[in-house]
Structure 1
Amino acid sequence: MSCDEIEALRLGLMNVLGSEDESVRQHAEQELGDALEGNGPVAALAHAESFAELQRHLDAALVDLEEEVAAADPDSPEYDYTRGRLVAVRDAERSLARIVDSGESFLGHLGDAHHTLHEAFPVDE
């Protein structure tokens, strides 16, 4: 059993944040294996380089995971785990959205601070 979406999100987030923790990266890459080489949303998520890419590819991975859960046999031993993966990935999607919202809010505050400084200390050119 694997949690490809979570590991791929970790790798993509490491790319976006510039994290260089090689032990974490190697563990995630090892767990993902061949999924990193494909053209699907998991590989794209792992190689994402922006928050927008993370959100887009995570959304696509969620669609695939929802289809996997819908097609799964409820009596299968993996069924509960697959449903649990879906819950965890949806939770990660909400957390990622909060991070992006927080970053956009911070960006807006920086703009406000910039304008306030120019209002308080006008520059004559």
Structure 2
Amino acid sequence: MTCHEIEALRLGLMNVLGTEDRSAREHAETELEGHLDGPIEALAEADSLAEIERHLDAALVDLEAEIADADETAPEYDYLRGRLVAVRDAERAVHRLTAQGEDVLAGLGETHDLLHEAFPVDE
């Protein structure tokens, strides 16, 4: 079994961060072979953190539906529930990354304003 959501998330983050690790990309692509459709495909192809958050949320909805339909006595049931925990944890990590990026952006804006206050430019 594989965790399609996590591998697709890895690919999306590689896109956003500009990661050129060919072996990591190939590994994730191999894991996803035959499963690139819907939110998983969109997540793997995401080019922004906003897209990642949106598609990861949709993938979580699909995973929750898969768990709801699963037989609780089936051997893969515990794996599915574990996968849900891992993907929710990844979702929180992406939210933190987005919030940290927004904080950096706000800080740069404040620095810019402070520089203009300290060193006014006559136009």
Q: Report TM bin, short chain.
A: over 0.9
Report what 2:82 is aligned to: 84
TM alignment of 1:1-125, pairs within 5 A: 1-36=1-36, 38=37, 40-125=38-123
d(CA) in 1 for partners of 2:62, 2:81: 13
Give the percent of matched residue pairs that are identical in Structure 1 and Structure 2.
67
What CA RMSD, in Å, does the superposition of the two structures yield over aligned residues?
0.5
Deviation at 1:34, TM superposition (A): 1.4
Q: Where do 5+ consecutive residues of structure 2 fail to align?
A: none
SS at match of 1:34: coil
TM-score between both structures, scaled by the size of structure 1: 0.97
User: How many residues are matched?
Assistant: 123
Q: Where do 5+ consecutive residues of structure 1 fail to align?
A: none
Which aligned runs of 4 or more in structure 1 are off by greater than 4 angstroms?
Answer: none
Amino acid corresponding to residue 104 of structure 2 in structure 1: F
Deviation at 1:2, TM superposition (A): 1.1
1:35-74 deviation digits (Å, cap 9, x = unpaired): 22x2x00000000000010000000000000001111111
